[in-house]
Structure 1
Amino acid sequence: MVESTEIQAAFKETEVGRIPSDWGVRLIADLTSLMTNGFVGIVKTHYTDFDHGVLYIQGYNVEENAFNFNGIKRVTNDFHSKHEKSSLKKGDLLTVQTGDIGVTTVVPEQLVGANCHALIITRFKKNTAEPFFYSYYFNFSVGRRRLKEIETGSTMKHINVGDMIKMLIPYPPLSEQTAIATALNDADALITQLEKLIAKKRAIKQGTMQELLKPKEGWEVKRLGEVAEVVGGGTPSSFNSSYWKGDVNWFTPTEIGDKKYTYESVRKISKEGLTNSSAKILPIGAILLTSRASIGDISILMLEGCTNQGFQSLIAKPGYYNEFLYYLTLTIKPLLIQNASGSTFLEISPNKLRSIELCVPPTKEVQLEIAQTLSDMDSEIELLEKKLAKYQRVKQGMMQNLLTGKIRLV
């Protein structure tokens, strides 16, 4: 009971929720020297391809505490000079006001002097607030929820400058804002560094795969039907509930993506349901290949099971190594789509699939060596991805604790 009293005494209930007793609550208007919209209107006629044009930031370029420069535009200097109120300065907050409402980032040095479109620009008075603290706050679930409360519009939801500037926000001491922002920036830097490393490893693996699987002297041209048995799937009748209560693993395309192994199915069917459908039990190691709608997504089956009719699965024939076929099949996705047909949705037939030509090494030993090299690279990437997921969870925990004052840094 004593511990509970001490915790309650350290916090207070306010208009912005429960915050530490030494934090304040302030109007955004009291902290800012400027809050305005980026240009709103038709701007396409002012785009320019010249490098000396002014960078023009739009909603799709804004990410949480970051920027995406894909498809970034430039506008003419004449347009920019006529709309100087939306010229950006270092430390400005940019908040998406239509679409993915509330996504916020901070303008870095390299974007000083850029212009922007339909974004809310928040410029804090000098030495009154730490921009990164409030960027993290608006991207945090609590901040997003509070921005959602001021959404307006029936067809297209948006937030207005006039409503946002009247918002009350938590106001920790400036030194604590800076400490929190620094800690979260450090976490983001680790995550970004790891994301870049994973992207680099994936690119290396892609290049290695192309080189290793490129036809070489002595390799043989084979039809897919010669190296693997092609097995279709099926679905039990939905009118018999007993078919859907069992222990037979039953896969649908939703479980298959750009991943190497599938460990569990979303649903299970009964042995009776299996018997009364066109599905067949597939052995561990079978290659699950989506053959309709989304064509060419594959995984290696790591537990016995069957599939619905959205698959044509591959079982390696004697003399061929299933993991090698997995990597080889990854490289022919465009060919699979090219051989598909259909009016409602694309589908590649079993016969079309069997007739596709591949170039394969003559010995299983070479297949195994290639597969092992690529598998080792996949394992390294998988470990990095797990590490990234851990870092992202840690950052979310940090935001939950630091932005609510549950953990104090100063």
Structure 2
Amino acid sequence: MDKRESKIPLIRFPEFKEGWEHKQLNELLKVSKKKNKDLKYSKEEVLSVSGELGIVNQIEHLGRSYAGASVHNYGLVENGDIVYTKSPLKENPYGIIKLNKGVPGIVSTLYAVYKVKDNNADGEFIEHYFSLDANTNRYLRPLVRKGAKNDMKINNEYVLHDRIFVPKKEEQKRIAHFFNVIDTKINQLKEKQNLLEEYKKGVMQKIFTQKIRFKKEDGSDFENWDNTTLGKVFKIFNGYAFSSKDSCENGVKWVKIADVGIQRMQRENVSFLPFEFRELHKKFLLKKGDFVIALTRPILNGELKIAEIDDFFHNSLLNQRVGKIISSNNLIFIYYFLQQQWLINSIEKNIAGTDPPNLSAKEIDHIKVSIPKVKEQEKIAKILSNIDNKIAKSINQIDNLKNYKKALLQQMFCY
């Protein structure tokens, strides 16, 4: 809350020379006291604040309205307003600050709404400043007191009580425009990713309903698909009951349920076992190209938690409640085959009734399926892998651009 001398960012547009001023946030924003007293907005127009998506319609974002019995005391949020949500998130334990770039609506009293003082501030500059988790946490930490229920003890006026470094409005707008261009490119890549994923779903649906068939190398038709059961298509090899007592800071990785995501491995919380375990339990070693499936709570949001072992997890050990898929069929084909929605629904139905739901071979072996011969499986696997490679490329481009943006945010603002 102290007032410090002006500062200059590490990276700056050359036309600007003046130092940035250390201003109290109430010089840039003011509390909006507009309420939905006349019920201009209904429960269908309640807004939520998302760390990833910003300010969005609650029903579109969460699938339903969480509004109270009456919304007459909800705060009005107009386009260009700043909203602070007094709810903790994993990366933002003191809440998040976002700009409403979309349609107007209302928010519950758990949110604070602010108007931008146009003579001093640019709303998009303020949002970009607080888009860095470190900035948001650094600013809010000294102001917020948390209650017994992890709720925020801070009034709307006091949120504006601390200071941030800001340039003159012209430079704010220049910086905001620069980051808006990056955001536009990120959104275009996300849209490309979404289109590819929808295309993949359509191709898979046509392949597995046999509306699309492939030819042999000599141009002749492949044989009819075989009617069989899932138990004859693949087997599940269960992992070993390694103990957390044996975990160490550095050693051989072991694959736990939390490491198996939807169609990709997760790297956030990797655990290690002593190196000698690699030889002691070598029958449980995983290699790049193996496929693993979560055996406890294997289905999340209608999708199966199945993933390919990549370079990162090569030579890791398989833990209990994670299964390795064993088959004489093409493993990549099986990976895609198991992503069919009707099959996931059937698996979910067969493992229902236990808490948590546990998957084992005996529950699903009897499920009737049709599969092609291995040579056609290979063609199918290649086609779908090519689409996935394009999706992975888009994801990589998005991640690289986000990292580029984050690095620039850290150097183009003063703290």
Same fold (TM over 0.5): yes
Identity %: 18
Residue matched to 2:7: 19
Which of 134, 145, 160 in structure 1 is aligned with 2:138?
Answer: 145
User: Equivalent residue of 1:149, what SS?
Assistant: coil
Residue matched to 1:95: 84
The structure-2 alpha-carbon separation of the partners of 1:305 and 1:181, relative to structure 1 and needing over 3 Å to count, comes to: closer
Which of 312, 322, 326 in structure 1 is aligned with 2:331?
Answer: 322
Residue matched to 2:119: 127
Unaligned stretches of 5+ in structure 1?
A: 1-12, 406-410
Shift of 1:152: 2.6
Shift of 1:153: 4.1
Residue matched to 1:69: 57
The structure-2 alpha-carbon separation of the partners of 1:138 and 1:233, relative to structure 1 and needing over 3 Å to count, comes to: closer
Q: Tell which deviates more after alignment, 325-334 or 19-28.
A: 19-28
Deviations 1:115-137 (A, max 9, x none): 33222222133332111111222
Is the contact between residue 298 and residue 359 of structure 2 (CA under 8 Å) also seen in structure 1? no
Is the contact between residue 65 and residue 105 of structure 1 (CA under 8 Å) also seen in structure 2? no
Shift of 1:111: 2.3
Is the contact between residue 102 and residue 138 of structure 1 (CA under 8 Å) also seen in structure 2? no
Shift of 1:164: 2.1
Alpha-carbon distance between aligned partners in 1 of 2:187 and 2:156, rounded to the nearest angstrom: 31
Residue matched to 2:307: 299
> Does residue 32 of structure 2 align to residue 36 of structure 1?
yes
Q: Tell which deviates more after alignment, 13-22 or 196-205.
A: 13-22
User: Equivalent residue of 2:31, what SS?
Assistant: strand
Shift of 1:184: 1.2
Alpha-carbon distance between aligned partners in 1 of 2:402 and 2:387, rounded to the nearest angstrom: 23
Is the contact between residue 254 and residue 319 of structure 2 (CA under 8 Å) also seen in structure 1? yes
Q: Tell which deviates more after alignment, 140-149 or 189-198.
A: 140-149
The structure-2 alpha-carbon separation of the partners of 1:235 and 1:16, relative to structure 1 and needing over 3 Å to count, comes to: farther
> Does residue 248 of structure 2 align to residue 251 of structure 1?
no
Amino acid at match of 1:168: R
User: Equivalent residue of 1:330, what SS?
Assistant: coil
The structure-2 alpha-carbon separation of the partners of 1:178 and 1:369, relative to structure 1 and needing over 3 Å to count, comes to: same
Residue matched to 1:3: none
User: Equivalent residue of 1:207, what SS?
Assistant: helix
User: Equivalent residue of 2:228, what SS?
Assistant: strand
Alpha-carbon distance between aligned partners in 2 of 1:334 and 1:368, rounded to the nearest angstrom: 25
Amino acid at match of 1:225: G
Which of 220, 236, 239 in structure 2 is aligned with 1:233?
Answer: 239
Which of 263, 272, 295 in structure 2 is aligned with 1:267?
Answer: 272
Alpha-carbon distance between aligned partners in 1 of 2:183 and 2:288, rounded to the nearest angstrom: 40
Residue matched to 2:154: 159
The structure-2 alpha-carbon separation of the partners of 1:321 and 1:125, relative to structure 1 and needing over 3 Å to count, comes to: closer
Deviations 1:296-337 (A, max 9, x none): 4112345455422212322222xx211111111222332222
The structure-2 alpha-carbon separation of the partners of 1:356 and 1:271, relative to structure 1 and needing over 3 Å to count, comes to: farther
Q: Tell which deviates more after alignment, 392-401 or 341-350.
A: 341-350
Is the contact between residue 198 and residue 384 of structure 1 (CA under 8 Å) also seen in structure 2? yes
Unaligned stretches of 5+ in structure 2?
A: 9-17, 212-222
Shift of 1:177: 0.8
Alpha-carbon distance between aligned partners in 2 of 1:325 and 1:271, rounded to the nearest angstrom: 33
Amino acid at match of 1:196: E
User: Equivalent residue of 1:26, what SS?
Assistant: strand
TM-score normalized by the length of structure 2 = 0.75
Is the contact between residue 230 and residue 350 of structure 1 (CA under 8 Å) also seen in structure 2? yes
Alpha-carbon distance between aligned partners in 1 of 2:284 and 2:351, rounded to the nearest angstrom: 23
Amino acid at match of 1:36: S
Alpha-carbon distance between aligned partners in 1 of 2:390 and 2:81, rounded to the nearest angstrom: 39
Alpha-carbon distance between aligned partners in 1 of 2:98 and 2:137, rounded to the nearest angstrom: 13
Shift of 1:69: 2.7
Is the contact between residue 258 and residue 297 of structure 1 (CA under 8 Å) also seen in structure 2? yes
Shift of 1:379: 0.3
Shift of 1:14: 6.3
> Does residue 202 of structure 2 align to residue 207 of structure 1?
yes
Q: Compare the two structures and name the one with the higher helix fraction.
A: 1
> Does residue 99 of structure 2 align to residue 106 of structure 1?
yes
Alpha-carbon distance between aligned partners in 1 of 2:43 and 2:295, rounded to the nearest angstrom: 47
* Structure index of larger Rg: 1
Amino acid at match of 2:180: N
Q: Tell which deviates more after alignment, 194-203 or 293-302.
A: 293-302
Is the contact between residue 233 and residue 310 of structure 1 (CA under 8 Å) also seen in structure 2? yes
Shift of 1:87: 3.4
TM-score normalized by the length of structure 1 = 0.76
Alpha-carbon distance between aligned partners in 2 of 1:116 and 1:130, rounded to the nearest angstrom: 22
Residue matched to 1:396: 406
Amino acid at match of 1:188: D
Is the contact between residue 263 and residue 306 of structure 2 (CA under 8 Å) also seen in structure 1? yes
Which of 380, 383, 391 in structure 2 is aligned with 1:373?
Answer: 383
Report how many residues are paired: 372
Is the contact between residue 122 and residue 169 of structure 2 (CA under 8 Å) also seen in structure 1? yes
